[in-house]
Each structure stands twice: as structure tokens, then as C-alpha cells.
Amino acid sequence: MDAPRAGPKGTVLSERQRIAWLRLIRSDNVGPATFRDLINHFGSAEAALAALPELSARGGATRAIRIASEAEAHRELEAAHRFGARFVGIGEPDYPQALKQIDGAPPLLAVRGALAAAKRPAVGIVGSRNASIAGAKFAAMVARDCGRAGYSVVSGLARGIDTAAHRASLETGTIAALAGGLDRPYPPENLGLIEEIAGGNGLAVSEMPFGWEPRARDFPRRNRLIAGIALGLVVVEAATRSGSLITARLAGEFGRLVFAVPGSPLDPRCHGTNGLLKDGASIVTEPADVIEALAPLAQFELFPSSMAEEPTRGGGAMTMPPGDTDRNRIIDALGPTPVEIDDIIRHTGLSASAVYLILLELDISGRLHRHQGGLVSLSD
């Protein structure tokens, strides 16, 4: 059964808004979750930018917060234009519909290539960099058949399984999620492949700034993009400790279907996939296993709304800054152990709006640590 091709909905950012969004996400201590909370509280990126210095000071920062300038934002937009890329906001039609619903979705994605690839339902395929011939062949077979069934194939441009999946879906449409900037793809031997992807029916995506060289800790963030863009994730050959298992864990947390290809117990490359099967992943012995399981999900608009759209007019509701007494109550209630925000509200007896604003202050000042699932703790 072919996957549907319903046109996604959304609101296009103005150029002024896009610059403000880029400035905000590139400012110190502003990650995707913080960005969303700032937009929801202040109503626009421009208003949030204006509030950052005061928020940081009230949160106890010992030095002035660095706020990305308009000149910096313009330079990055110009770099994207020269590279044949653009930035897509989370509420816009060209943003991957499934991705925008995950916890901590990137407010802006740098994209290069055929945007149609992001508008189709997607299946992720990941696995060992040191893939066997059989593993690479099977990954290519799954990618090819899923592509023919109407799915985009998303992977991480890595050696081995990722490369096999991308190459097998070049004609039908593949999405490469990068750990560095769009102009810094990794590994070097796949420079030709990324050009084939972006120059054909595929798409390259990244949340990192142009010129950003990928570091080890950037790859789990890249894995979150793969898990978030896809409706389901297929793991083909993965060692017990591997990035593919991180992607599988994230896919499960995001409510995606997780598939695993069984392998020999004597092959270390299969220990991770066999472990996934023990933990309840769906077994895959042929591409039809994936296509048939995803078909019911792909028939409906599962992701109809966004959480970080600016209001069409006016700003967000503003509240009076909380006092030191309320701020100290929250700081005293927090510690190194992650807790839910609802528990903070119940424990302190403060209003939700006051708690969220104080947490924003601590976040912007660098004193708050956000965890997967919306949990927070005091930074070390």
C-alpha cells in the first residue's frame, strides 16, 4: 500500500521573524525546549530577545548573557543562501510533520535539497558502521521497497548501514540528518553521497550552525532527528553499545515503532539488534514487515499542530516578575535529581505561571538542567 501524500499545514514566518528566531536559538543557554517556553511566554522571539538580559540577571547569572546579533543572523542566512540552503521554522509547512511533535524539537532546521522529501511519511534505517555485506544488502532492500511504497528514508550519513540505506533510496527520496553544519558533513568519504542526496530527490537537514564541525556529543542530537522524523525505525546490525541503540531508545520514547533485524548470536554486530527483539521490538525478515506495520499510521494526519508558533497578532501574556521569596522556594525545592515541573508546582504551592517563569530565569542564567521527558534539575 502506498503511503499518503497529504499536504502539511502551517504558517510561514516573515523574514523579520526568521531572523529573530535564528538570533534566539543561537543565543547562550537557549536550547529547543527553552526556545519553545520563551515563545509561549513572551509571544514572539523579538519580545523574548528583549527579555533575556533581565531573565538572566534575575536567575542569578554572574555575567552578561551573550545574545546573537542581527549581523550574526544575517551572516548565517547569507551563508545558507550561498550554499543553496534555507531555514525552516517548526510551524512552517516544509518542516517535517512528525519531528515537530517530539520533546525538544529544533525550532529551526537548516535544509538543502528537495523539500518534498520532508512532506512524506518517513522510515528510519540505521545500523553498524562496520556493516557486513549481508547487513548492507538487507538495509538497501528495506530502503528500496519502503521508498517505492511512498516513504522517505531517513538516516545519519554514517558509513555502513546508513550509507546503504541512503544509496538505495536516492531515486525515491532520502533524508540525511547531519551532526554538524550542513556545510560540514561527516564522514569525509560521503561528501559525494550528500551531494547526490541534496542535488536529487533527497534532503539534508541540520539544526547546527553553518561552519559547525561535529563533535562526539553532537551525534546523539543527530540521532534524535532521525528518530523524530520517522514514523518507525529499522535497526540493522548494532553492537551492544552503539549510536543505533540510542536512536532506537529515542524512537521508543517518541512513540515510534521500533523494528530490528535478527542476526547471529555469534556476531557482535547483532548483539544490539537481538537485544532489541528481546525487549519487544518488532522482528523484520522482509521489507513487507515494515511497510505493513507502518501503513495504518501513515493513513492519518497524526501530527496536526505545532507548539512554537508565534501568535498572528499581539504578544504573549506577561506576568509580574516573581519575588525573591518565590524564587528561593523553587531553588530550595530543586536539586541534582530530575523532577517533573508539575511536582514543583504542587510542592511549592505557587502558580504554574510563576513556576514556569522562575524556571526560565534559572535556565537562561545557566543554573537549570533540562532532561528528556520535561524533567528539570539544578545544574552542577
Sorted by where each starts, the structural domains of the chain and their CATH numbers stand as 13-83 (no CATH), 96-297 (3.40.50.450), 322-376 (1.10.10.10)
What would the pLDDT profile of 161-181 be if each residue is shown by its tens digit? 999 999 999 999 999 999 999
Are residues 239 and 269 in contact, defined by beta-carbon separation less than 8 angstroms? yes
Alpha-carbon dihedral 22, 162, 141, 116, rounded to 10 degrees = 10
By the 8 A CB rule, do 16 and 44 touch?
no
What pLDDT was estimated at residue 374? 82
Q: What is the pLDDT of residues 105-152, one digit of tens each?
A: 999 999 999 999 999 999 999 999 999 999 999 999 999 999 999 999
Q: Answer whether residue 7 shows pLDDT above 80.
A: no
Extended beta strands in the chain, E state: 86-89, 108-113, 122-127, 152-155, 174-177, 203-206, 232-236, 257-260, 282-283, 368-370, 376-378
Q: How would you class 155 by CB atoms within 10 Å of its CB: exposed for 0-12, middle for 13-18, buried for 19 or more?
A: buried
Question: Which pLDDT band holds residue 103 (cuts at 50, 70, 90)?
Answer: confident
**What is d(CA 75, CA 110) in angstroms, rounded to the nearest whole number?**
14
pLDDT band at 302 (very low <50, low <70, confident <90, very high): low
- Dmax (CA) of the chain: 64
Write the DSSP string, 156-184: ---TTHHHHHHHHTTTT-EEEE-SS-TTS
Which residue has cell 530530575? 338
Site of grid cell 517563569: 357
Tell me what pLDDT residue 322 has: 83
How far is the C-alpha of 186 from the C-alpha of 181, rounded, in Å?
10
Flag whether pLDDT at 40 surpasses 70: yes
Residue 278 pLDDT > 60: yes
Q: What is the pTM of this model?
A: 0.89
* pLDDT reported for residue 1: 36
Helix/strand/coil percentages in the chain, nearest 5: 45, 10, 45
Residue 303's pLDDT is what?
52
Q: How confident is the model at residue 8 (pLDDT cuts 50, 70, 90)?
A: low
- In this predicted structure, the answer to whether residue 314 has a pLDDT above a threshold of 70 is no
pLDDT recorded at residue 309: 59
CB 125 within 8 A of CB 236: yes
The confidence score (pLDDT) of residue 308 equals: 53
Please state, in angstroms and rounded to a whole number, the distance separating the CA atoms of residues 237 and 240: 10
Rounded Cα–Cα distance for residues 372 and 35 (Å)? 15
